[in-house]
Amino acid sequence: MPIGPFGIDPLIWAPLRLVIAVALALFLVLNGALLQIYLERKIQAIIQDRVGPYHVGPFGLLQTFADALKLISKEDVRAAATDGWFFVAAPALVFCPMLASWVVLPFAQDIVGANLNIGLLYLTTLGSMTVLGIVIAGWASNNKYALVGGLRSAGQLISYEIPQILALVSVVLVVGSLSMIDITRSQAGPFVNVLVLPFSFLIYFIAALAETNRTPFDLPEAESELVAGWLTEYSGMRWGTMLALSEYGNVTVVCAIIATLWFGGWQGPGVDAIPLLGVLWFTLKVYGFILVMMWIRATLPRLRIDQLMAFCWKGLIPAALLNIVVVATLALAFPTTKVPIAIASWVLVVAFIAGIPFVQRRRLQTLRARARAAAAPAVRAAS
């Protein structure tokens, strides 16, 4: 009989390993959501010069536990006109792809659920499945706010998936692998990918904000227009699964992708001596990006839906395509060195940021001209 790890028969070890991985992922998702909601409240409170939660536990640390208990013990309210099976299935359809994507996140050298050689493709695939649940949730609620919210969300997610995947392509072109482990390994030392490919990082970060429904792209849940978007009819733990667990889980997954692809994943000082130190570096990097997302949420106002779509299709997608062309050409022309790619990427970043005011000014000019043209006949009629 062959003996696998820990002297267990491989046939038993394989399912056992799966169960352990799923249990660990669930544990991390649940606790991560609690911690992130607390962080979000505290950070927004600090930025807005408030105190934030402070009654329950030391520094209000147990506030989210109390909230979770409240959500679990709430009555399961369902409007009579909702669509039975779909209404129940939608939270699961949103939650399951998010949970499944934790399988390929590399926490440390050997701490990873599965080393898929298509890890990155797997992650984007699961990311694209979330939309299905959101559309179904909006539709099954039998509520106009929920439907409009669901449709907006679907449009937004489908649109921003494109620059997101295009940004990933340039990393794959430089590294030459889709496996999360290989991508991490390729960034040993201080020269992580963000120094080589800052432009694709910028595009991915913007698209990721939209993909996880974070401000300034949290249109689907625009309270002032749509009550709570596709979540309007949900309450209790269904709402908790959808919003708290899935949204914060997705934020964590996206930040883990950013940390792995552009910031060296679990690589850090002392990892070669103590491999478990990788978990610490990985977690620190991931939470660093989560904090940046929360900072952005407390700082920026929300976009309008047409601005959001126009920015994606007219701004981000052409930029991402240009990035791919540049990186692919330079990678073919200089196969041995990454310096030309780095120079070109930094030039693109500077051009992108410096170009925004010019584009904005031209847009304002056309808008004013249109307004003047619309007002002119009215003036003529009055005179």
Partner 1 sequence: MTLDVIEPAVFAILSIGVIGGGVAVVMLSRITAAALLMALTFLSMAGMFVLLGAETIAAFQVLIYVGAITVLILYGVMFTKFSDQPRALFFQRQTPLAAVFVAAVAVPVVIVGSISFAGGPARPGGGDLPALATSVFTDFAFPFEIASVLLLAAMVGAIVLTKRDDPEEAAARRRR
Cα angle 273, 277, 280; round to 5: 165
CB-based burial of residue 164 (10 Å sphere; 0-12 exposed, 13-18 middle, 19+ buried)? buried
Which listed residue (136, 196, 206, 243) binds partner 1 by CB under 8 A?
Answer: 136
> Is 132 near partner 1 (CB under 8 A)?
yes
Q: Measuring CA to CA, which residue among 349, 332, 320, 352 is closest to residue 194?
A: 349
CB-based burial of residue 112 (10 Å sphere; 0-12 exposed, 13-18 middle, 19+ buried)? buried
User: Which residue, 194 or 261, has its beta carbon nearer to partner 1?
Assistant: 261
Q: Are 61 and 153 in contact (CB under 8 A)?
A: no
> Is 182 near partner 1 (CB under 8 A)?
no
Report, in Å, the least distance between residue 103 CB and partner 1. 13
Which listed residue (118, 284, 353, 367) binds partner 1 by CB under 8 A?
Answer: 118
> Is 154 near partner 1 (CB under 8 A)?
yes
Rounded to whole angstroms, the Cα distance separating 225 from 152 reads: 12
User: Which residue, 50 or 370, has its beta carbon nearer to partner 1?
Assistant: 370
Report, in Å, the least distance between residue 376 CB and partner 1. 8
Rounded to whole angstroms, the Cα distance separating 130 from 134 reads: 7
Which listed residue (124, 227, 279, 328) binds partner 1 by CB under 8 A?
Answer: 124
Task: Please count the residues of this chain forming the interface with partner 1, following the rule CB under 8 A.
Answer: 31
The letter for the amino acid at 349 is V
Which listed residue (47, 65, 125, 313) binds partner 1 by CB under 8 A?
Answer: 125
Which listed residue (70, 314, 363, 370) binds partner 1 by CB under 8 A?
Answer: 370
First-to-last C-alpha distance (Å) of the chain = 98
**Residue numbers at the binding site for partner 1 (CB under 8 A):** 11, 83, 86, 89, 116-118, 121-122, 124-125, 128-129, 131-132, 135-136, 138-139, 147, 150-151, 154-155, 158, 161, 178, 370, 373-374, 377
